[in-house]
Structures are given as C-alpha cells and as structure tokens.
C-alpha cells in the first residue's frame, strides 16, 4: 500500500456522491467554495445505481409488459407476448443508470468539483484519510459534509446470499422469478413486489404491521391492496418472519401469525425491513461528532453537527429516508458553509411518494395530523373517476384530497392516489410550501384534458363550488 506522508489541503469536502452528496458539492461550488467529493463505490450513490432510479426503470418495464398483455379493453389484441429480461436489465443499466451517473460525473467536473475515489475516515475535526486498495492519503479540510447514505438492514435468520436478497440483489436478477416472498411491505417492498407481479411472478408479502405501506392512510393503501389482489399477490399482515432456509434453488420462509407458524416456498426471498445509516466505522467519534439513536447524526436546522465545521445530510440524519430530502438538505448545508444564516430546513412541504399500482403521494398534513397539531380543517376528496383524462387512460381508481383550514381555506396538506400521483403532488407541494389557499388553485387555469385538473376540481370542492362532482 502506498501511503501519502503529507496532508493535501481541501476547502469543503463532501463524503458520498448520492443525491445529497453530489447536490451539496455542486451547490457549494456554485456558491464559490473549492469543493472535493469522496466516493468509495460509484458516483450517484445508492439512489442512482441500485435504488430509486433502477427500481423505477423495472417498474415501468413491468407496466409495459402487463399493459401489452391486458390491452383488450382498448381493442388492442396481442398474443405471444414475452419478456427478454436480460435485455430489460441491459436497458436499465446502460440506458438509464449509466446515462444518469455519467451525467452526474460530468456535472461535478463542469462545476470544478474534484472527485476523490476511496473510503474516508476521520482522524480529527479537520483531518481525514482516504483509503483505497493500494494507497492511502491524508487530507486536511476546512468544512465537511457527511452524505454517506444508508444500507439495507439484515435481520436474524435471513442472511443475504444467492436466494435471500436485499433491494440491490433483487434489482440485479437476470431472470424473472416464478415465486417471490417479500419480507416487509413498506415503500421498497411494495414497489418491487408490484414490479415483479406485473412480470408475472407469484408474490407473497409478509408485513409485520396491520397494513402494507403503513405511512399512508388506509383508503389510499386499500387501492394498492385491491390491485395486488387482482394480480394474485398474497398479502399477510401482522406476520413475524422467523427464518429462511435455502434448499438448492429454492428458499423456504418460516413466519408466525397469531402464534401459529407457517411456511412458504419461493425462488427468492426479498428482505426490505428498513435501512441503516452508513455512519459507523468512519471515525466520526474521533472528530467529536455526536451520533444519536440508530446511528443517526445529530444536527441543527442548518444540518450542522455539534462540531461547527462538520455537517450531515440525507439518510445519515433523522427524518424520512428520501432522496429529495437529502438534496434539499444538501442545499441548506452548502448555503450555511457559505455564511447564509437565513436558509434553514423546513420539512412541512416534504412530499412522499410510493410507486405502486396505483401511485400514492402525500404532502403536509393529513386530517388526523392536522387535528393533532390543533388545526381546525376541512377535507375535500375529488375522485379520478370524474376526470376525463383518467377515463381515457383507463385509470379511474384513486382521488385527490385537500386538507384546508376552515377559517381561510389555506392548504395545509394533500394526498393523491392514482395514475401519475408522483407528478400531480408537485403542484400541491408548492401550494403547501407557499401557504396558498384553495381559491389560488381554483383560479389557476389548468390544461384540459389532464390529470392535473383534479387538483383544481378538489380546490373548487373545498370552496363549496364544485363543477364536476
């Protein structure tokens, strides 16, 4: 191993190049800082390489296959539909992931961000070491942003291997499994279960809580459950996974419900029960950084740790493990290092999306959380079945719901369930962020025919003057 015997000086260093890290690096550079970014594996982090982006690519490919097989209601009759899954994976890896990660690397270089390959370890609050297989180098820094992301949690009895997979493993399969058991029916488990169900895989979901995707409201989740049922997916709730036994090219999963033990066999078992922050074994304690519960770094409202020149963002800190949260925090931290004391984190308008069938999206308050916050609210729910664009898409399951204050119709929350909910929620996120009222939305001209019109219709409903319901 070659060891650098002198410290190279850095100004701002970002550790990790995911949606938090690369955004922090670029924004810091735009604000005039001299920036270096350290990455131990691949530019773009988990999200772009083995998470958000490749999973959405497979979800979309699954939709194309499923729709091709079930287009008879449009009068589109097809036969002999098949999937070349190796080609699907090649498209995902080369045309989607490859282009995005290559684009991020180009943007870093364009903004004069130095890319340092290797694994970073803190020596103290102004020094770190970067280690590769054949070299080690010491760097001194003025400010650091920890954006190291997270990794899948491995639970007892379910050691990851060829048949027991984490989210990275399930995205890399070269063949479509005939059967799949999914441990954990949260965001990741439900999204990937839906993708493979569309490809024809027999799916069993084991969820420990009373419903899958427990962070969303019951009437939203019920739509997903109904669609799963239509595709033959078996959902077992209040289930405790006990053990996975691999027998050749099959895996037997033992689980418990109501004190009774059951087993189910499949080609693979996917474990998606949460993620653990990558804050261990990087020497943060040597830098004096305080780490709280579950390995999360404690930060203030500018993402600053207890060590004034070290910041942390994304999955390394408390809050929802969302790529867009990390990117948002990245901009706050970069601004703070540049001396902007006015920019602080505010999570009131933080959208959450689940790419199931149908899609689910939420921002701000629900009815229940608004009441818990002491707000007196009205709730207005407009069905997609009354929308012309939804009818033309044969996607009428779902709704747009607004949570507005009774006094002045301020939009304090919204939920969308249905086709393209991930896009429709953007306008409502802006409404919550800006403190708009229902009249602001109702008086905004929306293109016709579009799913976005459901937002206008829901606003008119909130004002007591609906046109289309």
DSSP letter, residue 386 = G
Last residue of a domain, one of 221, 251, 273: 273
Is-contact 294 279, C-beta < 8 A?
no
Binding site as annotated, residues for FAD = 56, 148-150, 315
Residue 178 sits in the same domain as residue 228: yes
To the query of whether residue 446 is one of the catalytic residues in this protein, the response is: no
Residue 307 sits in the same domain as residue 291: yes
Binding site as annotated, residues = 56, 148-150, 184-191, 207, 274, 315
Rounded CA-CA distance 268/193 in Å is: 12
Question: How much is the pLDDT for 78?
Answer: 86
Rounded CA-CA distance 178/203 in Å is: 9
Residue 368, judged by CB atoms within 10 A of its CB (0-12, 13-18, 19+), counts as exposed
Residue 143 sits in the same domain as residue 43: yes
Residue that the structure tokens 């779902």 belong to = 398
Residue 261 sits in the same domain as residue 288: no
Q: Per residue of the chain (469 residues), give pLDDT as tens.
A: 445 557 999 999 999 999 999 999 999 999 999 999 999 999 999 999 999 999 999 999 999 999 999 988 899 988 889 999 999 999 999 999 999 999 999 999 999 999 999 999 999 999 999 999 999 999 999 999 999 999 999 999 999 999 999 999 999 999 999 999 999 999 999 999 999 999 999 999 999 999 999 999 999 999 999 999 999 999 999 999 999 999 999 999 999 999 999 999 999 999 999 999 999 999 999 999 999 989 999 999 999 999 999 999 999 999 999 999 999 999 999 999 999 999 999 999 999 999 999 999 999 999 999 999 999 999 999 999 999 999 999 999 999 999 999 999 999 999 999 999 999 999 999 999 999 999 999 999 999 999 999 999 999 999 999 999 9
- Is 346 inside any structural domain? no
- Is 266 inside any structural domain? yes
Residue 16 sits in the same domain as residue 136: yes
C-alpha 274: how far from its chain's center? 12
Residue 105 sits in the same domain as residue 56: yes
Residue 290 sits in the same domain as residue 225: no
Tally Cβ neighbours within 10 Å of residue 288. Answer: 13
Residue 141 sits in the same domain as residue 15: yes
Residues 262, 324, 448, 468: which is the catalytic one? 448
- Is 289 inside any structural domain? yes
Question: How much is the pLDDT for 1?
Answer: 42
Last residue of a domain, one of 228, 250, 273: 273
Phi, psi of 367 (to 5 degrees): -55, -45
CATH of residue 209's domain is 3.50.50.60
- Is 41 inside any structural domain? yes
Residue 126 sits in the same domain as residue 140: yes
- Is 186 inside any structural domain? yes
Which residues make beta-bridge pairs with 115? 37
Is-contact 332 302, C-beta < 8 A?
yes
Residue 42 sits in the same domain as residue 103: yes
Rounded CA-CA distance 358/340 in Å is: 41
DSSP letter, residue 186 = S
Which residues make beta-bridge pairs with 275? 152
For residue 219, what are the CA distances in angstroms to 47, 216, 365? Answer: 29, 9, 16
Phi, psi of 452 (to 5 degrees): -65, -25
Helix axes 21-30, 99-110, angle to 10 degrees: 30
Would you call 185 helix, strand, or coil by DSSP?
A: coil
- Is 469 inside any structural domain? no
What is the pairing mode between strands 268-271 and 179-183? parallel
Total domains, the chain: 3
Binding site as annotated, residues for NAD(+) = 184-191, 207, 274
Last residue of a domain, one of 249, 273, 297: 273
Residue 284 sits in the same domain as residue 304: yes
**C-beta contacts of 126-134 below 8 A and 24+ residues apart:** 126/309, 127/7, 128/13, 128/15, 128/283, 130/38, 134/1, 134/2
Phi, psi of 73 (to 5 degrees): -70, -20
Query: Cis bond leading into 382, ω under 30°?
Result: no
Question: How much is the pLDDT for 79?
Answer: 84
Residue 23 sits in the same domain as residue 144: yes
CATH of residue 402's domain is 3.30.390.30
Q: Give me 414's structure tokens.
A: 């919204």
Tally Cβ neighbours within 10 Å of residue 257. Answer: 13
Q: Which domain holds residue 282?
A: 2-152+276-337
- Is 148 inside any structural domain? yes
Q: What DSSP string describes 3-24?
A: EEEEEEEEEEEEE--STTHHHH
- Is 348 inside any structural domain? no
């Amino acid at each position: 191993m070659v060891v650098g015997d002198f410290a190279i000086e850095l100004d701002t260093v970002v550790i990790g190049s995911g949606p938090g890290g690369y955004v922090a690096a670029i924004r810091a550079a735009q604000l005039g800082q001299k920036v270096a970014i350290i990455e131990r594996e691949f530019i773009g982090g988990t999200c772009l390489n083995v998470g958000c982006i490749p999973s959405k690519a497979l979800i979309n490919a699954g939709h194309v296959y499923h729709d091709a097989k079930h287009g008879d209601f449009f009068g589109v009759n097809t036969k002999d539909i098949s999937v070349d899954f190796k080609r699907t994976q090649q498209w995902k890896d080369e045309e989607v992931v490859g282009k995005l990660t290559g684009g991020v690397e180009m943007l870093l270089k364009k903004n004069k961000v130095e890319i340092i390959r290797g694994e970073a370890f803190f020596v103290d609050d102004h020094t770190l070491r970067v280690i590769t297989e054949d070299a080690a180098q010491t760097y001194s820094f003025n400010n650091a942003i920890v954006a190291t992301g997270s990794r899948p949690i491995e639970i007892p009895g379910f050691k990851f291997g060829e048949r027991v997979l984490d989210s990275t493993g399930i995205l890399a399969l070269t063949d479509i499994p005939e059967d799949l058991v999914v441990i954990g029916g949260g965001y990741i488990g439900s999204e990937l279960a839906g993708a493979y169900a569309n490809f024809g895989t027999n799916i069993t979901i084991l969820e420990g809580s009373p419903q899958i995707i427990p962070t969303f409201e019951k009437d939203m989740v019920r739509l997903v459950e109904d669609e799963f049922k239509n595709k033959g997916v078996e959902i077992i709730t209040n289930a405790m996974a006990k053990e996975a036994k691999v027998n050749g090219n099959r895996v037997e999963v033992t689980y418990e419900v109501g004190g009774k033990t059951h087993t189910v066999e499949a080609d693979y078992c996917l474990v998606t029960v949460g993620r653990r922050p990558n804050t261990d074994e990087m020497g943060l304690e040597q830098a004096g950084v305080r780490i709280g519960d579950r390995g999360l770094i404690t930060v203030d409202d500018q993402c600053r740790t207890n060590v004034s020149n070290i910041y942390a963002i994304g999955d390394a800190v408390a809050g929802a493990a969302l790529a867009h949260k990390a990117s948002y925090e990245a901009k706050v931290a970069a601004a703070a290092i540049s001396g902007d004391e006015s920019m602080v984190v505010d999570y009131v308008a933080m959208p959450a999306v689940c790419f199931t069938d149908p899609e689910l999206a939420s921002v701000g308050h629900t009815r229940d959380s608004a009441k818990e916050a002491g707000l007196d609210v009205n709730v207005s729910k407009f069905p997609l079945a009354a929308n012309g664009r939804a009818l033309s898409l044969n996607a009428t399951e779902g709704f747009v719901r607004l949570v507005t204050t009774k006094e002045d119709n301020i939009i304090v929350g919204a939920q969308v369930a249905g086709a393209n909910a991930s896009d429709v929620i953007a306008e409502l996120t802006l409404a919550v962020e800006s403190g708009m009222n229902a009249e602001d939305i109702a008086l905004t001209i929306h293109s016709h025919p579009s799913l976005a019109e459901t937002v206008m219709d829901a606003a008119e409903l909130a004002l007591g003057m609906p046109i289309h319901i």
